[in-house]
């Protein structure tokens, strides 16, 4: 009798373990995908010590962002460069773009191309361990300014100088003074802070000069968007005001710690800076 009970308990425990192992990945998969089969991507697959890649990457970014083709992360570019340094930044960027969706392709889709399918970085184990996004993502944000009239001067998580641990956790877009800056969402203005009445630099100001903070709520998540270095008296909104995606908020300036007219575009989620360009819909 004791052996029968012991065997029954063992079989029940084994059954529960099997159910747990089966349901866990299923629940994780369901959590990843929304009704339209996509999700917002906030992965942290950034390239550390990226100074050697910066100039070439910014060059290809400017070409594709100004043309409205879409955004491919540096992590994806370096992923393929790590196996074949003869590849150009331009061809990797192009191969990883879905021009219909205007966004980065899932890694498995790129690895199915004849060009890459025999790469070591494209075997299933390498892909699994890579942190490369393998699904299409939601893009809830609009553009923070007209991309055709700007230059990317700094990308998210860029190392700004050699030998110094200084990582820029935002995007910088250089543009002419007073270039309109847009709301990226239907949201609410949290703060409007304009201490400068002249478009001048102040390298001692670490607060971002003239700035606006916007609150965006999407899929029950709250994003805070910071626009900094804005032109004096260019603000078109006030604290507590509801705004729509595409509304003009202010103009580009060079107030505060700045080296020229540009927009500092920063997005925070759960108290942490994330890559705001991953949220921008290029369509």
Q: State whether 246 and 202 are in the same domain.
A: yes
Q: State whether 271 and 153 are in the same domain.
A: yes
pLDDT range class, residue 164, cuts 50, 70, 90: very low
Check whether 20 has a pLDDT greater than 70: no
Closest CA to 279 of 28, 43, 33: 43
- Rounded to an integer, the average pLDDT of 63-88 is 97
pLDDT at 162: 45
- 177 class by beta-carbon count within 10 Å (0-12 exposed, 13-18 middle, 19+ buried): middle
Q: State whether 122 and 155 are in the same domain.
A: no
pLDDT at 115: 96
- Counting residues of the chain whose pLDDT is more than 70, the rounded percentage is 83
Range of the domain at 247: 147-279
Higher local confidence (pLDDT), 108 or 7: 108
Q: State whether 27 and 100 are in the same domain.
A: no
Check whether 178 has a pLDDT greater than 50: yes
- The end-to-end CA distance of the chain, in Å, is 69
pLDDT range class, residue 160, cuts 50, 70, 90: confident
Check whether 217 has a pLDDT greater than 50: yes
Cβ atoms 144, 227 nearer than 8 A:
yes
Domain boundary among 128, 156, 173: 128
pLDDT at 9: 61
Q: How far is CA 263 from the centre of its chain?
A: 16
**In this structure, is residue 43 part of a structural domain?**
no
**In this structure, is residue 163 part of a structural domain?**
yes
Asked whether the CA dihedral 236, 173, 185, 69 is positive or negative, the reply is positive
Higher local confidence (pLDDT), 162 or 188: 188
C-alpha 121/C-alpha 138 separation (Å) is 26
pLDDT at 18: 55
Q: State whether 171 and 242 are in the same domain.
A: yes
**In this structure, is residue 222 part of a structural domain?**
yes
pLDDT in tens, 32-63: 333 333 455 556 678 988 999 999 999 999 99
The tally of CA atoms less than 13 A away on the side-chain side of residue 220 is 1
Q: Residues near 131 by Cβ (< 8 Å), separated by ≥ 6?
A: 43, 44, 45, 75
**In this structure, is residue 204 part of a structural domain?**
yes
Place of tokens 């927009």: 263
Structure tokens at 210: 């003239």
Q: State whether 187 and 242 are in the same domain.
A: yes
C-alpha 242/C-alpha 200 separation (Å) is 30
**In this structure, is residue 37 part of a structural domain?**
no
Q: State whether 164 and 272 are in the same domain.
A: yes
**In this structure, is residue 135 part of a structural domain?**
no
C-alpha 119/C-alpha 101 separation (Å) is 26
Q: State whether 191 and 238 are in the same domain.
A: yes
Phi and psi at 60, nearest 5°, equal: -75, -30
pLDDT range class, residue 150, cuts 50, 70, 90: very high
Q: State whether 181 and 211 are in the same domain.
A: yes
pLDDT range class, residue 165, cuts 50, 70, 90: low
pLDDT in tens, 78-132: 999 999 999 999 999 999 999 999 999 999 999 999 999 999 999 999 999 999 9
Q: State whether 153 and 274 are in the same domain.
A: yes
**In this structure, is residue 87 part of a structural domain?**
yes
**In this structure, is residue 44 part of a structural domain?**
no
C-alpha 255/C-alpha 155 separation (Å) is 20
Query: Considering its fold, how many domains does the chain have in total?
Result: 3
Check whether 163 has a pLDDT greater than 50: no
Q: State whether 67 and 188 are in the same domain.
A: no
- 20 class by beta-carbon count within 10 Å (0-12 exposed, 13-18 middle, 19+ buried): exposed
Cβ atoms 96, 108 nearer than 8 A:
no
Domain boundary among 100, 128, 156: 128
pLDDT range class, residue 222, cuts 50, 70, 90: very high
C-alpha 255/C-alpha 198 separation (Å) is 8
Cβ atoms 274, 41 nearer than 8 A:
no
Check whether 2 has a pLDDT greater than 70: no
Structure tokens at 258: 């700045």
Q: State whether 110 and 201 are in the same domain.
A: no
C-alpha 173/C-alpha 58 separation (Å) is 11
What is the CATH classification number for the domain harbouring 203? 2.70.70.10
pLDDT at 30: 35
């Amino acid at each position: 009798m004791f052996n029968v009970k012991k065997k029954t308990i063992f079989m029940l425990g084994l059954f529960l373990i099997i159910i747990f192992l089966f349901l866990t990945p299923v629940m994780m998969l369901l959590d990843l995908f929304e009704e339209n089969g996509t999700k917002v991507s906030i992965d942290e697959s950034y390239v550390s010590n990226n100074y050697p890649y910066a100039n070439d990457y910014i060059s290809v970014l400017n070409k594709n962002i100004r043309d409205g083709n879409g955004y491919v992360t540096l992590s994806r570019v370096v992923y393929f460069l790590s196996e074949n340094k003869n590849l150009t930044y331009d061809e990797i960027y192009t191969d990883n773009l879905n021009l219909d969706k205007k966004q980065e392709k899932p890694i498995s889709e790129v690895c199915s191309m004849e060009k890459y399918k025999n790469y070591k970085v494209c075997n299933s184990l390498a892909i699994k361990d890579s942190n490369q996004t393998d699904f299409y993502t939601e893009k809830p944000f609009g553009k923070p300014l007209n991309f055709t009239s700007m230059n990317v001067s700094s990308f998210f998580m860029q190392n700004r100088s050699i030998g110094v641990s200084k990582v820029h956790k935002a995007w910088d877009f250089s543009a002419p003074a007073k270039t309109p800056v847009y709301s990226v969402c239907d949201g609410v203005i949290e703060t409007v802070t304009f201490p400068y009445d002249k478009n001048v630099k102040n390298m001692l100001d670490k607060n971002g000069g003239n700035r606006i903070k916007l609150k965006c709520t999407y899929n029950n998540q709250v994003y805070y968007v910071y626009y900094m270095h804005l032109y004096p008296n260019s603000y078109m909104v006030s604290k507590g005001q509801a705004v729509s995606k595409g509304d003009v908020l202010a103009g580009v300036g060079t107030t505060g710690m700045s080296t020229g007219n540009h927009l500092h575009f920063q997005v925070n989620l759960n108290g942490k800076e994330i890559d705001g360009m991953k949220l921008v819909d290029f369509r």
